[in-house]
Amino acid sequence: MRKLRLSDPNRTESTHPLPIPKAGYRSSESILTASKCPGKGHSHIPCYVRKHRNRHYERVESGGVGDEGLATARLSLRRPTPADIDLIYTVHSNVRACEHNPADMLTTRAEAEDLYHRWDRHWQHHGLGYWIVHDDRRGLGFCGVKVMTLNHRGVLNLFYRLDPSAWGHGVATEAATAVVEWTDTHRPDDPVVARVRPTNAASQRVAVHAGLRRAEHLDTQGEDGLDWIYERRWP
């Protein structure tokens, strides 16, 4: 089996990056088998299907360090490329998409290019980051994890943001669940957190459905006000 080294993104990036563990699966709850990946266009690349609590996702290797993708029943998640800058700009210039986090709003395509390069540097440095979320027709938005510091501890910040046209269909929950399960396998010793604004009930539901729980004692001030913290594996 080819070993993969995969990747992870929040507001404050840790100056002491979390170590990237050796690739492989560590889960007493999962069975993984290599098989051909139908419809992926890479018949020479093995695909790993994981069944877990009546759900499954696939690992799709595209050949480079940190280039692993995920596939759920309806979605594919892959590392961003320069071709995704327009999507980054479209979503982050949408007032509805950034309603609860206006500090993330972009006003020019040049800002989207800069954001893409920051995401790409994070992938290069940490071997993980934010994925582009696709259905079988188009890019829908973003979901992934970022290395940051919370309460002087290195954590993985769970991020999800979709174009409003993709809301209301369980896409964010499906993508976030796949990402969190990926961390269970590849970063089992690292806490995962989600920072959610108190008025963003939809995002709070996604965090809970993805396997995180409310942690009031970790709440902190963010760029747009108080952030409620949801966690998984906080010591």
d(CA 103, CA 222): 10
Window from 12-26, 62-76, 100-114, 204-218 with minimum mean pLDDT: 12-26
Structure confidence at residue 68 as a pLDDT band (50, 70, 90): confident
Could you report the per-residue pLDDT of 105-153, keeping only the tens digit for each?
999 999 999 999 999 999 999 999 999 999 999 999 999 999 999 999 9
Q: Which domains does the chain have, with CATH numbers?
A: 32-232 (3.40.630.30)
* pLDDT digits 0-9 by tens, 37-67: 333 333 333 333 333 333 445 555 443 444 6
Q: What is the pLDDT of residue 9?
A: 37
pLDDT value at residue 13: 42
Beta strands in the chain (DSSP E): 32-35, 47-52, 55-60, 69-71, 76-78, 130-134, 139-150, 153-162, 192-196, 213-214, 220-222, 225-232
pTM, two decimal places:
0.76
